[in-house]
Amino acid sequence: MIEKREFYINGAWVSPIKARDCEVIDPSNEEACAVISLGSTEDTNKAVAAAKAAFGGWSQTDPEVRLGYVKKIREIYAERAEDMAQAISLEMGAPIDMSRSSQVTSGTWHIENFITAFKDIEFIRPLGSHAPNDRIAMEPIGVVGLITPWNWPMNQVTLKVIPALLAGCTMVLKPSEVAPLSSIVFAEIVHAAGVPAGVFNMVNGDGVGVGTDLSTHADVEMISFTGSARAGAAISKAAADTFKRVCLELGGKGANVIFADADAKAVERGVRHCFNNTGQSCNAPTRMLVERSVYDQTVDKAIEVAASTKVGSSHDEGNHVGPVVSAAQYDKIQGLIQKGIDEGARLVAGGTGRPEGFNRGYFVRPTIFADVTNDMTIAREEIFGPVLSIIPFDNEEHAVEIANDTIYGLTNYVQSQDGAKRNRMARRLRSGMVEMNGKSRGAGAPFGGVKASGRAREGGVWGIEEFLEAKAISGWDSDIN
């Protein structure tokens, strides 16, 4: 078991104040692999006070100085890549090869993209030629609370910490108590990079405790949260009395629209994307909408892909999906699979219970339902497991109607060889992102949604500017640089 670690405040590891111990569970074997301490309100207050004290100096540093610290973080992050991969695999069950190739590198990708985007940030901007003595100053918002999830730990930590640092904010990070080990490694990286005391603070805790304390704290100017829609609503309400900016990146129920003219790899690509990270991705294409003329052959292909999907321990090397993160998550997924059966969807792959050969660990059978209707629970709720619903449609208009009939709006997908059709679909689908024909978003593209998926835009210039606010200045002396 990993030695007990608490949290990071003002540049040093400190003992918690009246904290509760919390076991971190290895989802591959259901055994405790570490113990952390959950911080108290007093711990949170200390962290916020440290960040507030550091804000004046940090916010006034030259942007190039802040950029230098981030470049140092990138360097040390690369050196600690294997430590990070092992921590993520242990805490949340990502297979070790996937942890190395995707989980850890998502953090690297975001750090590098923010470094690139930073050159396009103008902190002092002219209003326009009509007002030569007006300027818009883009200034750091202040102390920010960053609350991150367990499913892609470094993806979300770097999407929040790095732009906050570059913007000139100071911060308190609360990682998920379910998967805190990778954030402990990250805190060590920030410390090793020499970031000044008080700029970055981390407090382990749960949502009810530290999460609520940050959301209601009068000295926290902004909350950036990634997680469930239910928790996002609670944070918004908690933050209202202190007039915080609240940026939410929440769940999804992505539609993957497969037209009859989709490329030969589209179905396999869609099923594997749904099952990636054991289905624990907010942007997973969990509803496969299929044009009726190719529906039967699509279902057959999906069954074939599910049968070839291996399940295994996160500690084993190789190409397979691991367990889901926790007993609670396992039970939720099992209940929703049973709900799909009870409501009349046709189970064509997987089902309830563990895969053959497993009697412990939170392993879920890769599951596919056909003949799903969009009013079924499995088509409405975010399952967050390896469960795919296949829904037929008649024409383009019908596909748009089904795809948009959801409370969520994060990512939708389109598969067609008809460019005009793809472009029409991209504009009509109600979501923050649309990916087509297997092409991922480019570096620096914003990540975020609409409706119950939240309104955040993380990544690139948009991600940095979420931590800035505009100040209008008139009477600026334009003769002085």
Catalytic residues: 249, 282
Question: What does the block give as tokens for 95?
Answer: 């297979």
Tokens of 227: 């997680």
Classify the C-alpha dihedral 270-275-276-279 as positive or negative.
Answer: positive
Q: Is 19 left (phi over 0), alpha (psi -120 to 50) or beta?
A: beta
C-alpha span between 322 and 280 (Å, rounded): 11
Record the tokens describing residue 479, joined without a space. Answer: 């003769």
Say if strands 433-436 and 20-26 run parallel, antiparallel, or are unpaired.
unpaired
Our measurement of the distance from residue 285's CA atom to the centroid of its chain's CA atoms, rounded to an integer in Å, reads: 15
Task: Please report, for residues 17, 194, 221, 468, the alpha-carbon distance to residue 52 in angstroms, rounded to integers and kept in the order given.
Answer: 20, 18, 10, 16
Tell me whether residue 97 is exposed, middle or buried, using C-beta atoms within 10 angstroms of its C-beta: 0 to 12, 13 to 18, 19 or more.
middle
> What is the residue-wise DSSP string for 240-302?
GGGT-EEEEE-----EEEE-TT--TTHHHHHHHHHHGGGG--TT---EEEEEGGGHHHHHHHH
In terms of Cα–Cα distance, which of 454, 45, 462, 40 is closest to 225? 454
Helix axis angle, 81-92 relative to 153-167, nearest 10°?
130
Q: In what order do the strands lie in the sheet with 134-140?
A: 124-126, 134-140, 468-474
Residue type, 452: A
Residue 71 CA, distance from chain mean position: 22
- Which pair of tokens denotes residue 125? 């901007």
Q: Helix or strand or coil: residue 81?
A: helix
β 7-9/367-370 pair status: unpaired
Range list of H helices, 362-478? 377-380, 396-404, 419-428, 460-465
Q: Please answer whether residues 383 and 338 qualify as being in contact, where contact means their C-beta atoms are separated by less than 8 angstroms.
A: no
Q: Are 216 and 205 in contact (CB under 8 A)?
A: no
Amino acid (one-letter) located at 114: F
| CA-based end-to-end distance of the chain | 57
